[in-house]
Amino acid sequence: MSAAIEISGLTKVYGAHRALDGVDLEVPEGSVFGFLGPNGAGKTTTLRILSGLASPTAGSGRVFGHDVVASTSAVRAEIGFLPDVPGYYEWMTADEFLRFAGGLFGLSGEALRGRVDALLDLAGLTGVQTRIGGYSRGMKQRLGVAQALINAPRLLMLDEPTSALDPIGRKEVLDMIASLRGRTTVFFSTHILADVERVCDRVAILDRGRVVAAAEMTELKSRYGGQRFVLETTGDAPVLIDRLEAEAWVTGITQLADGRLSVTVSDVEAAQRALPAAIAVLGLGLKRFEPGEISLEEVFVDLVGGER
Ligand code: ATP
């Protein structure tokens, strides 16, 4: 698979502050890639450099092989970009706005009509005659994604596309992003873990200007979190906790609010054999024993830390 984005040693310094500190990252073509990080991590800075709106202090970025500094116009022909605070002509309808945006890319006639109709459909805005000024935030954001697609880019970059939306608005934008899978590579920044879990097949986690993890979603969870089992037993939980803490394959134990135990393990097979046995030895009854995935949130807190 070829790379839509290749970033190497990317560094951006503002005065004494290193907003980006040697970022290395590869986004494969065809992926829906989540660029996850807390506020101030450097996500916007990265996207601005990739789209030619800012220049790096050091390092390089390539989009489909084009250098983002030396070949800005070749890069711009390949990308669509929705900034974190997009601007709209509020007196236009969605149809007028997309036709206007298409015109800026030299589209006209049948080609423009066809593209605009397809994008209105994708955004769920077909037939909406309300002017943009009267839209909900979710509608505006869907229109923004549509507008970023007007030049049929191979790569769509979205800066925090869901952060100002309510749950329904978020779901609609995420569904729109998911529907692009296989057609357009999507690279979007967010600080919302659930969004990444919902639509992304790959993720990179940025913290204080550095990539602290980058992997396929499934790989990231297993690499950093291992597997988790949730147990429900009769009897004395503290005794069981003491016993399990002594096992080498147990990486963490948490007692959940409802009394169940969440046990994370490094060796799943050892856990499957030994957990029921350990419970039996203590004379406890096993009521429930369920394998569960580690959530991205747990991985994130582990890597980035809870304290900011
Ligand atoms: P957010 O979610 O808050 O937008 P982010 O991950 O997008 O965060 P950036 O906007 O890239 O982060 O900012 C990274 C760091 O660089 C922050 O500490 C920010 O204050 C700083 N920064 C960004 N732009 C500038 C600038 N033009 N001048 C000085 N510092 C800046």
Residue 151 CA to ligand 1 center (angstroms) comes to 28
CATH placement of domain 3-222: 3.40.50.300
Question: Which atom of ligand 1 is nearest the CA belonging to 12?
Answer: 16
Question: Which atom of ligand 1 is nearest the CA belonging to 159?
Answer: 7
pLDDT digits (tens, 9 = 90+) for 106-128: 999 999 999 999 999 999 999 99
Residue 43 CA to ligand 1 center (angstroms) comes to 8
pLDDT digits (tens, 9 = 90+) for 218-227: 777 666 656 7
For atom 28 of ligand 1, the residue with the nearest CA is: 14
Question: Which atom of ligand 1 is nearest the CA belonging to 20?
Answer: 14
Pocket lining for ligand 1, CB < 6 angstroms: 14, 17, 19, 37, 39-45, 191
For atom 24 of ligand 1, the residue with the nearest CA is: 45
Average pLDDT, the chain: 89
Asked if residue 120 lies in contact with residue 94, where contact means CB atoms within 8 angstroms, the answer is yes
Q: Which residue has the tokens 């007028």?
A: 96
Supply the DSSP string of 69-108, one letter for each residue: TTTHHHHHHHEEEE-SS----TTS-HHHHHHHHHHHTT--
Residue 237 CA to ligand 1 center (angstroms) comes to 46
**Residue 73 above 50 pLDDT?**
yes
**Residue 306 above 60 pLDDT?**
no
Among 24-28, 210-214, 232-236, top mean pLDDT goes to 24-28
Q: CA 284, 276, 229: angle at the middle one, nearest 5?
A: 110
Task: Give, for ligand 1, the residue of 13, 43, 81, 162 to mutate: max count of ligand atoms closer than 8 Å to Cβ.
Answer: 43
Please indicate whether residue 206 or residue 290 has the higher confidence score (pLDDT).
Answer: 206
Nearest to 154 by CA among 187, 118, 201: 187
Supply the DSSP string of 183-212, one letter for each residue: TSEEEEEES-HHHHHHH-SEEEEEETTEEE
CATH 3.30.300 at 226-304, yes or no? no
Domain residue spans of the chain: 3-222, 226-304
**Residue 291 above 70 pLDDT?**
yes
195 φψ region: left (φ > 0), alpha (ψ -120 to 50), beta (else): alpha
Nearest to 160 by CA among 44, 80, 73, 53: 44
pLDDT digits (tens, 9 = 90+) for 228-281: 888 888 887 788 888 888 888 888 888 777 778 888 888 888 888 888 888 888
Question: Which atom of ligand 1 is nearest the CA belonging to 191?
Answer: 2
Q: What does the pLDDT read at residue 308?
A: 47
Confidence of residue 64 (pLDDT cuts 50, 70, 90): very high
Local structure of residue 52 (DSSP, 8 states): T
pLDDT digits (tens, 9 = 90+) for 180-200: 998 999 999 998 888 888 899
For atom 26 of ligand 1, the residue with the nearest CA is: 14
Residue 85 CA to ligand 1 center (angstroms) comes to 14
Q: How far apart are the first and last CA of the chain?
A: 37
